[in-house]
Amino acid sequence: MPSYLLTSVAFLALFLAALPVVPAVAQDDIVKLESDLVTIDIAATDAKGEPVTDLKAGDIRLLEDGTGRPIDFFASAATPGQARPLAVVLALDISGSITRNELEVQRRAAMQFAGLLRPESLFAVVAFNHEVRVLQKFTSDKRDIDRAFDRIKDVGGATRIFDALDQSVSMLAKTPTTRSGRKMRRIVVTITDGIDSSSTINSIELIRRATAAGATIYSITLPSYIRSLDGTRRRALTILDAHGVVPATGGVDFSADDDDYAPYFKAIAGDAAGGYQIAFYPSEAARRDGRPHALRVEANRPGVSLRASRQNYEIPR
């Protein structure tokens, strides 16, 4: 059964203990321990793209197959001091388009990124070109991240970005749901030119697996640019862009237009460790039909935009 379909009383106890949960409706109406609980991570931003940190349960509207559904649990990690620990896989593109100098810039930014997160966070490092290699399994020791970059020997070759993201998601699916009494957030951060030339998995299956694992994918893209007929310079569309893997999992793409990666990592740290988590019990019919069901979240507050970590869910028969 996918990890986001949680049926055990043990999970519910951990969910309530790990987060400052506020019921959206009366307690008598929501205590249904035999039901499957579907969780969604949400990031909220204003018109300037700045995080919104004061949302309440009533500020979020949840739709299942286009129909409004009650939010049974709501938790906020957006306020100062409530940041969640992260389980992070850094997926590094070491194909022919990446230089040694760029890898050193990435190393420094990754170390700064690790310093921004809660000490209970876990890190792993994957490198990919024509093959996918795990350079560092999950660790809480930031020095291990630095040493992982030293293991990158051969730079060049083709690119298997989708396969690398799939490997990262598979690793995240095995991480704990809580650590030190706090609910963990699972994310992948990939640094890449966005081109895939030899993966065996397709984007649809990748998104399905990421959704099942509760993993959000962020990308820092080394962009190429083209000029349109009117002379306007614009970023060239990559395969990663075209397949929508990043937004489908609630992540954000950043164009690395200079050699300073630190602002991108800082933005990812704030986005992933903050935000909100909601959970709901699917309708009785949805629990039995074994079909995928579309999910959408909307803000009831003007000027607020929401990004959700999943766009659907499925409960196998």
- 175 & 242 share domain: yes
For the stretch 236-269, pLDDT in tens is 888 999 999 999 999 999 998 888 889 999 999 9
Task: Give the structural domain span for 157.
Answer: 86-273
Do the domain assignments include residue 247? yes
Q: Are strands 38-45 and 276-280 parallel, antiparallel or unpaired?
A: antiparallel
Do the domain assignments include residue 2? no
Q: Which two tokens stand for residue 103?
A: 């890898």
- 118 & 212 share domain: yes
- 171 & 244 share domain: yes
Do the domain assignments include residue 174? yes
How many CA atoms are closer than 13 Å to the CA of 61, on its beta-carbon side?
12
For the stretch 18-73, pLDDT in tens is 444 433 333 333 333 345 789 999 999 999 988 999 999 999 999 999 999 999 99
- 93 & 220 share domain: yes
Q: Which two tokens stand for residue 160?
A: 């298997």
* CATH, residue 243: 3.40.50.410
- 283 & 266 share domain: no
Listing DSSP states for 46-73 in one string gives -TTSPBP----GGGEEEEETTEEE---E
- 58 & 148 share domain: no
- Mean pLDDT (the chain, rounded): 85
Q: In Å, how far from its chain's centre is CA 196?
A: 20
Do the domain assignments include residue 3? no
- 264 & 135 share domain: yes
Altogether, the residues listed in the chain come to a count of 317
- 269 & 144 share domain: yes
For the stretch 127-184, pLDDT in tens is 999 999 999 999 999 999 999 999 998 888 889 999 999 999 999 999 999 998 888 9
- 208 & 250 share domain: yes
pLDDT at 12 > cutoff 70? no
Do the domain assignments include residue 184? yes
**Tokens 């309708």, residue located:** 283
Q: 7-16, 62-71, 166-175, 294-303: which range is least confident on average?
A: 7-16
Phi, psi of 179 (to 5 degrees): -150, 130
- 54 & 192 share domain: no
- 263 & 209 share domain: yes
pTM, to two decimals: 0.84
- Looking at the structure of the chain, the number of domains it has is 2
pLDDT at 301 > cutoff 80? yes
Secondary structure class of 268 (helix, strand, coil): helix
